[in-house]
């Protein structure tokens, strides 16, 4: 039996965002809707099913929320899952390097593999892959584009909740 997938889109300061759910948990948050058009074509648009994730994302983007309280169900390898869980431990407004993230998951020599797993994160923003930067402090690759990464980091660096 095939799983039913639900989606909704919202407008944001960084462009349209597509939220995807399996009906129980958030399974995706995508910034580039064109790239993920096939996912959307195989899903049912359901605003009610994604009401809670949409409200939390809008509160985050408005500067009213720092930590998400959502059920998440990203599909990935065990290594990717470890990386994604570690991303969730990076505090709001802070950044770390890929090397530091590799150390945090107990694989200090795996910075490149961590970078690849980071780039495969299907739940952007909520699983804050944008908080990982180069060892020299530079903004490095980001699936949503460096302009979006720059915006998200600047948004979080404002410090106080509205």
Q: Count of alpha carbons within 13 Å of 144, Cβ hemisphere only?
A: 26
| H or E element, residue 99 | helix 98-104
Q: State yes or no: is 129 an active-site residue.
A: yes
- Which of 129, 132, 133, 153 is labelled catalytic? 129
For residue 118, what is the DSSP state? H
| H or E element, residue 40 | helix 37-41
User: Comparing C-alpha atoms, which of 126, 124, 7 is closest to residue 59?
Assistant: 126
- φ and ψ at residue 96, rounded to 5 degrees: -140, 165
Alpha carbon of 65 to those of 18, 79, 105, 138: distances in Å?
19, 29, 26, 26
User: Comparing C-alpha atoms, which of 21, 115, 128 is closest to residue 75?
Assistant: 21
Yes or no: say if 61 and 12 are a contact pair by the CB < 8 Å rule: yes
Catalytic residues: 129
């Amino acid at each position: 039996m095939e799983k039913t997938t639900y989606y909704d889109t919202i407008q944001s300061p960084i462009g349209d965002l597509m939220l995807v759910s399996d009906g129980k948990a958030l399974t995706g948050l995508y910034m580039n809707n064109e790239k993920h058009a096939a996912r959307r074509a195989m899903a049912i648009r359901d605003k009610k099913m994604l009401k809670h994730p949409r409200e939390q994302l809008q509160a985050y983007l408005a500067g009213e929320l720092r930590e998400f309280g959502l059920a998440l169900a990203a599909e990935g390898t065990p290594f990717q899952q470890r990386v994604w869980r570690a991303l969730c431990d990076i505090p709001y407004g802070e950044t770390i390097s890929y090397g530091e993230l590799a150390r945090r998951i107990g694989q200090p020599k795996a910075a490149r593999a961590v970078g690849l797993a980071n780039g495969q994160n299907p739940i952007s923003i909520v699983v804050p892959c944008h908080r990982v930067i180069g060892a020299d402090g530079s903004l490095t690759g980001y699936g949503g584009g460096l302009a979006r990464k720059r915006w998200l980091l600047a948004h979080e660096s404002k410090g106080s909740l509205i």
